[in-house]
Structure 1
């Protein structure tokens, strides 16, 4: 932001040389007139000593102070300008230009608070000053005060300043403030045919992406590309919208085009690495992330994407280095630490892995249940603990294996869980208080002797600090024995052979595609003779029609969890992909063969396996992909193992 042009009329003096009888100076009309003429001609070296001479004789000469302050500011000496402009503003407090110029100089010195005060005073005197309104809004946004910026800009627009530049600033500030609908509305009000329309389309597209309206964002970014084909943010926005729509193959060339249009900007390459990663093109994703770092070595997102791709390749030690750098640059970014924790656990470094978990579940970051007690610190408890679940039902089943340890470290445990788990946990832990989770806190968890609380996912950090803390258990959940026996009779019979339960799909929205198989892919397993196959799949099971897989209409794994546990316990063997079925089988101690992807799609507890075993569930045998996405050889190995008995 440059200073206003040198002028003599800002403080009430004529811009032209004063005519006889018109000069308002008592002592120095000729000297001032000569200084102004030299200043207007650009001969600041000659003008400066004249202003200084006036001020030596008249230290309270407002116009000389103002003009000399402008001169210093225009020549890059804001520190010298500030006292002169402050003097001018003090002597002529009713002149907006003095306060504006003072704010300009203060802003250059990084004295944002004082600059803001000066600019606000200038706007009080001249509320229709659009350029200064934009400058003040930019200052507020630079400090993260986006709501204040939107208020300032909206007031100016409501006062009648129908200025496309102000409206674009409003759209940008609303986007930064998280008011995505307001950002889109402001951007749409900018008419076609004005220069600001380009920026308006960019903001509108970004807002639509944040509103999860990717198809509309795609159309908006296409308009931006048509209007400004040489800008990089158009194809970059197209790529982001295509990514959101799952069209990663179409997103890649858009990011490549954006990177070519902006050879110095790293953002398109960061986005390119993400799109390549989604397609499983991991070596290319690594290359794109490294190229982004060549453009900006301190871009945290590029280090993070590099870590994601390296971890996908199974290069966990290298991924940790990349994540370390990302965390150094953005220490409060939870996702960076979450991913790094996975690599630490995969490498067997429990201490470092749990340290990242501790950060993620610190009191200021976690979504707390409405209990007033402090978080459990891992030590002995002179009272009871209320434990609550907040993840999926499989995670709660896994955490149930730690409740006995917590009970031993305290005087009792209140377990607030998914209501569907209450019968199963109550039977398995009769010494604990099991209550269903509801929106409000349960009275049992508010009892006077309940002195601390913990989310279930918090427990491993303290109760499984080292590998020798993992017990070699035979199961810790107890299914209803009568229902188990009834189901065994139903599925059995003289020709039933072994009863094998199978589950082939994960409903996890982000990882399910990496973990799931089509039931048709199971043909080598389902063709093994002498086996009664029973569906343990939750959700739709239409795929089982026309196959040898038996679907029991009396068991709904989603609604009747206690019945589902009995069904799992009735199996001779469970074969499943990574989903809640695996957790139930392992927690019930049933033999389970778990088919896992190589790297992508693994949740943290499966990363901790050693060989074909997993420390959480001794009854589980792991069959892992040799190559990411290749299930055929896994299916073949499982089929052969079933034949071998």
Structure 2
């Protein structure tokens, strides 16, 4: 090196005087660096280093100059010398620089040599070192070491696509290699302090662990590698999920409890402590504890949206008390921008038919996520409940636009069309659903009722066969072992058992079809039914054997000669031709103002005569006697739209009549209202003494037969009147102006004495009330005429 190259005169003089002085060459090298003469600086630092026997900062500056000058191999070797001689911080820096040089050279083997035995933590201030060492180990096909370094990288690397790609490669390689339990334990122990600060990489690594470790070893692994202590509890949320998935929820409970000790406000971990609904004890003690947590989670300032949503789910499964519901409202108000919470709570209020509360919640969900199909579908339900037909149809159509495969949207669109009275449109929607999913029972049942309502009885009753596929169908499928009767021909002494289903009104209504079976196989039929109807049915069908419904079924119904079984609701499908003939025969009486007769169930004639005498004693032969009811025991919103108020019932009864209470459930306030209104018009209202109006059905049927007519909503009372042929005038809400039992006719063909008085549920009962009163006046006129 020529001395003339050095510009500083004093340094030049020093070099001439003392050419072996290391500090002079070092200063010249630093000056060259400042002047960006990297190549010269490297030469000067090399002379400085050669002039001293100690590894010093000069060597570090030489390595840096060599790195800048592209002499990567020499630089790396000098960095290594520094890392061996320097203290901790300087040694780490030197090692970091050496790794960088070898990375640029692609010398992955040398990087692995440097990393061996080095702790993975403490490197967060050295950008990229974890990835570089991880890639080096990966190139050497040492996947676990690669994972150890990659999973210890700073958390902000998660957003780096390059880092993510390398991590995925390491996991894929680890999947294909043989891994020892002890190595996995070491991997988790060494990385846990950083690993669980990143949900992204922790989930990936634990998913890999779940694939390579036996489920029975998972908990032991977590304990032995000290995961909880090393991560400061950060691992618990993912560990709980892992244990729950691989071992079971019961095993996850202890981990969730540990999480609660570390962080009592962690609502998500608490969720795992909660038992499944089926596991709740009968005394509801644990259920109360669950509810207490859910309420606390709703009002706590620390509970995040996921925790509040879990609390809302718990409250939804509890009793629908005003207290519970107030917390559900609070849950929705707490996070108005959480579309999931708004949907879950709003949907629950729709189930309760409280659409006015549900609608604004679903609106909030849609403000946050306008294309949220499930919320749009439920928004349609809210409008259906509130009788907003156009809005209901529009919301369901928007739901289908957002998700053309959302089954509930089709169901709700069909419901909206039916609510609007457009049965053909409702049928078309259901048929469209069934084209893509023939197993959709809700769509098929909706189609069945709508087809029956327009008179498509063959298709309607065929679709009605699927009713047991509904989630909440109100009847159990009876445990008879026989084959199902599908119009099979019976042998001479072979029997078929017919079992009743659904409610008492349905048993009465469907009993009509026993005629058709009796005509085919007299003496071969057994029927299981409500015990309260045994006497009435036995009197009416003497060739049929009747047995009460019991669990298990009566032995006679399981006897060897019983070859077939069939539920009563299946029979209409097998006798649609007979129904067609019945419709033709009775069409001429469909619009008569009063129809009497055509009943098929026989009451006890002596009891009927006794009750008629009782009523005559109260008012004489000329007085109209009307059996009345105004509601059932079910008071859900949809049902209430079918019921009349006590005052409205009285308004439908002619002046001076005798009204006989056939309502088995009522309160004293209702009776007082009826009596007050009735007294103003000379109507006497009585509840006959000594009769159990709920359970003594044979006596109640005799009462129905003893009165002149009935006025009632379409409850079991209406069917009592119809099956004995008593003039029965029925209040009914329907936008379509029909019910399915009419089979597209102006009346119910097999119950022609029933007359239906319709209104739209948005209208008052004024017109049906006037129509019922007019028909009752005609009954009274005929009664008086018959007495003369």
Answer whether TM exceeds 0.5 for this pair.
yes
CA–CA distance in structure 1, aligned partners of residues 429 and 268 of structure 2: 37
Match of 2:639 in 1: 512
1:95 corresponding residue in structure 2: 185
Show the counterpart of 2:327.
220
Corresponding position of 1:564? 700
* 2:131–2:150 CA contact under 8 A, matched in 1: no
Structure 1 residues 61 and 154: CA distance shift in structure 2, 3 A? closer
The reply on whether 1:381 has 2:490 as its aligned counterpart is yes
Q: Counterpart in 2 of 1:481?
A: 605
Going from structure 1 to structure 2, the CA distance change for 1:166 and 1:334 (only over 3 Å counts) comes to farther
What's the CA shift for 1:392?
A: 1.6
Of 343, 346, 363, the residue aligned with 1:256 is 363
Of 60-69 and 318-327, deviating more is 60-69
Deviation of the 1:367 alpha carbon: 2.0
Deviation at 1:513, TM superposition (A): 0.8
Compared CA separation, residues 270 and 494, structure 1 to 2 (3 A)? same
CA distance in 1, matches of 2:435, 2:163: 38
What does the per-residue CA deviation read over 1:34-87, in whole Å, with 9 as the maximum and x for residues that have no partner?
8999997448997787446534xxxx7853587699998821784774234542
Between the aligned partners of 1:135 and 1:218, the Cα distance in structure 2 is: 32
Question: CA offset at residue 632 of structure 1?
Answer: 1.1
For 2:730, the equivalent position in structure 1 comes to 594
Q: C-alpha separation between the residues in 2 aligned to 1:361 and 1:611?
A: 27
Q: Is contact 1:221-1:237 (8 Å) kept?
A: no
Query: What SS does structure 2 have at the residue aligned with 1:454?
Result: strand
Distance in 2 (CA, whole Å) between partners of 1:332 and 1:567 is: 45
Question: Which residue is equivalent to 1:632?
Answer: 766
**Which of residues 530, 541, 553 is equivalent to 2:688?**
553
Residue 757 of structure 2 corresponds to which residue in structure 1? 623
Q: Match of 1:420?
A: 532
User: Is 2:426–2:450's contact at 8 Å kept on the other side of the alignment?
Assistant: yes
Q: 1:169 to 1:374 in 2, by over 3 A?
A: farther
Q: Partners of 2:292 and 2:175 in 1: how far apart?
A: 40
Q: TM (normalized to structure 2)?
A: 0.66
8 Å contact 1:338–1:356 — kept in the other structure?
A: yes
Tell me if structure 1 keeps the 8 A contact 2:732–2:756. yes
Write the distance in 1 (CA, Å) between the matches of 2:663 and 2:300.
57
Structure having the larger proportion of residues in helix: 2
The TM-score normalised by the length of structure 1 is 0.78
Post-superposition CA distance 1:255-309 (Å, at most 9, x none)? 3233323434344433333233222223222233333334433332232222222
In 1: Cα distance, 2:143 partner to 2:665 partner: 84
1:329–1:188 Cα change, 3 Å: farther
Does the 8 Å contact 1:393/1:418 carry over to 2?
Answer: yes
- Structure 1 CA distance, aligned partners of 2:136 and 2:186? 25
Unmatched 5+ residue regions in structure 1?
1-13, 21-26
CA contact (8 A) 2:243 2:249 kept: no
Contact preservation (8 Å) 1:119, 1:132: no
Q: Structure 1 residues 326, 221: CA separation in 2 closer, same or farther (over 3 Å shift)?
A: farther
Structure 2 matches for 1:442-453, cutoff 5 A?
442-453=554-565
Sort the Cα spacing of 1:178 and 1:214 in 2 relative to 1 into closer, same or farther, 3 A.
Answer: farther
Number of matched pairs: 614
**Shift in alpha-carbon separation, 1:343–1:590, aligned structure 2, 3 A:** same
How far does residue 384 in structure 1 lie from its aligned partner after superposition? Answer: 1.5
Which of 531, 541, 544 aligns to 1:429? It is 541
Is the CA contact (8 Å cut-off) linking 1:81 and 1:105 kept in structure 2? Answer: no
1:580–1:499: structure 2 CA closer, same or farther, 3 Å change rule? same
Larger radius of gyration: 2
Structure 1 residues 367 and 186 mapped into 2: Cα distance closer, same or farther (>3 Å)?
same
- Residue 380 of structure 2 contacts residue 396 of structure 2 at CA under 8 Å; is this kept in 1? yes
Structure-2 change in CA distance of 1:550 and 1:213 (3 Å): closer
CA deviations on 1:567-607 (whole Å, 9 max, x unpaired) are 222344333321112212221122333332224998x653x
Return the offset for 1:517: 0.9
Which of 715, 723, 726 aligns to 1:579? It is 715
Unpaired runs of 5+ residues, structure 2, are 1-87, 96-107, 153-160, 281-286, 587-597, 782-788
In the alignment, what sits opposite 1:54? 140
